[in-house]
């Protein structure tokens, strides 16, 4: 109960294997014990930051989840992950053994502020989970359960959306501020939900990141954008480059360079036509790993840009080591650049910094002519925003380019 003293939240999860008695009866206690030990080992490997995994009863495990982990994943997704892990078969005594698990969850301090109360409340929730058929989780406080349920449903829907082709890419043009020429396109994902219509990425990218679905989703985006580039090239439309957003999770996962290589090869694309947008926050979280991944990507010849620049805290020394090609000034600084001196100063400083480091500088979220004039007068290189066009489906991009070049 360390957290009691720091004013933090903490979650207590009680896990109880479904039908464990049958397993014990049919396989014998020692194999039952081995099964439990193996499952505890898997949980520990998959959830390394979870505080305690202890066996307290014949068939029970307890997980204690600390505040940092709660912030990162959310207790509902973590519990769901535990269920998925336990549902994987275990090979024991020459057979594959399948088990289910019921989970009861109590939160400190909302559901109790001492260990005994928390345990008894987690136990009550566990019994409800079992009563409802097992292999599921229940929160002690029902309203938390409803929120968790809605989120899990969205996650399940999103998983299906990827498999069933409900994702779409829209493209937003970028132009040179000096010449007005088309400089590139940014691919932005949308979810065409069968009932809810077009859903914007802000509503599902965070869930995709938390659940790990961002990896298959990111692969889909990368491949779809590369296929589109190939189709456009075949039709004689050759935007200098197309940018794809890449999540921090994809970068820390270590497979990105291989996925990029494959997508480029399969579509016979020169690497410099592809740009990857990464955010500053990723750059701050795991520097050495970030450097390694970025170096691999640079080796491949793809272009790299830093998205939403100015909202994170990159050190200048670090920025120089990164050797990206472009900075994208976050749209929050652009909104009132012509009337807010503080934001104007930030925009000017980013342009100067970028140019000093030999990088291209793009301003995002340009909606009005006066913003474009300001940027042009301050030597910003490129702009993107509703002033040029909203993100458009691929057919509309072709029409747009035919129309306005
Ligand atoms: P972002 O990469 O910074 O993309 C720019 C966002 O600003 C887009 O929102 C775009 O529609 C919006 N925008 C463009 N011009 C203007 C303007 O003039 N005014 C205003 N107010 N907004 C403008 P969108 O499409 O909703 O995407 C939101 C964010 O979702 C993106 O921000 C990006 O971080 C993320 N995202 C989108 N597609 C993907 C993807 O395929 N993978 C990943 N990991 N993230 C993605
Ligand atoms: Mg972007
Ligand atoms: Mg941005």
pLDDT in tens, 281-325: 665 556 677 788 889 999 999 999 999 998 876 777 778 878 899
Residue 239 pLDDT exceeds 90:
yes
pLDDT in tens, 184-215: 999 999 999 988 899 999 999 988 987 789 99
Name the residue with the closest Cα to ligand 1, atom 15: 385
pLDDT in tens, 13-54: 999 988 887 887 877 888 888 888 889 889 988 888 787 666
Which residues does 400 contact at the CB level (< 8 Å), separation at least 6?
Answer: 173, 389, 392
For residue 150, the SS3 value is helix
Task: Give the position, in ligand 1's atom list, of the atom nearest the Cα of 279.
Answer: 34
> In angstroms, rounded to a whole number, what is the distance separating the alpha carbons of residues 142 and 138?
8
What is the helix (H) or strand (E) element at residue 362, kind and residue range?
strand 360-363
CA-nearest of 219, 185, 135 to 362 is 185
Query: Candidates 198, 211, 245: which one to mutate for ligand 1, based on the most atoms within 8 Å of Cβ?
Result: 245
Sign of the four-CA dihedral 66, 67, 73, 78? positive
pLDDT, residue 48, reads: 80
Contact 138, 145 (CB under 8 A): yes
Name the residue with the closest Cα to ligand 1, atom 45: 245
- Provide mean pLDDT across the span 363-389: 98
Helices (H), 254-337: 256-266, 280-285, 287-300, 316-322, 331-334
CA of 187 from ligand 2 middle (Å) equals 8
For residue 392, list its beta bridge partners: 171
Contact 143, 31 (CB under 8 A): no
Neighbours of ion ligand 3 (CB under 5 A): 307-308, 364
**Could you tell me the CA-to-CA distances from 182 to 21, 240, 301 in Å, in that order?**
68, 8, 21
**Could you tell me the CA-to-CA distances from 126 to 57, 115, 138, 261 in Å, in that order?**
14, 16, 6, 47
> How sure is the predictor about 5, in pLDDT bands with cuts at 50, 70 and 90?
very low
> In angstroms, rounded to a whole number, what is the distance separating the alpha carbons of residues 112 and 122?
10
> What are 141's two structure tokens?
């406080």
Q: What is the pTM of this model?
A: 0.73
């Amino acid at each position: 109960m360390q957290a009691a003293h720091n004013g933090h939240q903490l979650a207590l999860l009680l896990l109880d294997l479904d039908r464990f008695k049958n397993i014990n009866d049919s396989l014998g206690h020692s194999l039952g014990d081995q099964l439990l030990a193996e499952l505890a080992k898997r949980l520990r490997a998959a959830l390394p930051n979870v505080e305690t995994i202890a066996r307290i009863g014949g068939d029970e495990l307890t997980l204690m989840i600390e505040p940092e982990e709660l912030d990162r994943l959310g207790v509902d997704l973590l519990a769901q992950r535990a269920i998925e892990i336990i549902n994987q078969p275990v090979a024991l005594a020459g057979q594959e053994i399948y088990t289910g698990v019921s989970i009861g969850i109590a939160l400190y301090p909302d559901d109790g502020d001492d260990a005994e109360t928390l345990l008894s409340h987690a136990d009550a929730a566990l019994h409800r989970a079992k009563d409802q058929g097992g292999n599921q989780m229940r929160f002690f406080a029902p309203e938390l359960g409803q929120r968790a349920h809605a989120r899990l449903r969205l996650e399940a829907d999103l998983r299906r959306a990827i498999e069933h082709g409900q994702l779409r890419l829209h493209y937003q043009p970028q132009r040179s501020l000096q010449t007005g020429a088309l400089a590139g396109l940014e691919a932005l994902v949308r979810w065409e939900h069968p009932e809810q219509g077009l859903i914007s990425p802000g509503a599902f990218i965070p869930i995709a990141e938390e659940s790990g679905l961002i990896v298959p989703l990111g692969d889909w985006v990368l491949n779809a954008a590369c296929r589109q580039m190939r189709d456009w090239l075949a039709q004689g439309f050759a935007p200098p480059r197309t940018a794809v957003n890449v999540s921090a999770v994809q970068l820390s996962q270590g497979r990105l360079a291989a996925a990029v290589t494959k997508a480029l090869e399969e579509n016979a694309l020169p690497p410099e036509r592809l740009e990857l947008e990464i955010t500053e926050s990723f750059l701050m979280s795991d520097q050495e790993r970030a450097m390694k991944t970025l170096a691999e990507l640079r080796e491949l010849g793809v272009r790299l840009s830093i998205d939403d620049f100015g909202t994170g805290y990159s050190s200048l020394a670090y920025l120089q080591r990164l050797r990206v090609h472009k900075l994208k000034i976050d749209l929050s600084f652009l909104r009132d650049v012509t009337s807010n001196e503080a934001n104007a100063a930030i925009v000017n400083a980013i342009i100067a910094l970028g140019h000093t480091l030999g990088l291209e500088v793009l301003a995002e979220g340009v909606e009005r002519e006066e913003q474009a004039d300001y940027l042009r007068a301050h030597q910003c290189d490129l702009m993107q925003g509703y002033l040029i066009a909203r993100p458009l489906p691929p057919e509309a991009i072709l029409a747009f380019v035919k129309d306005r070049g």
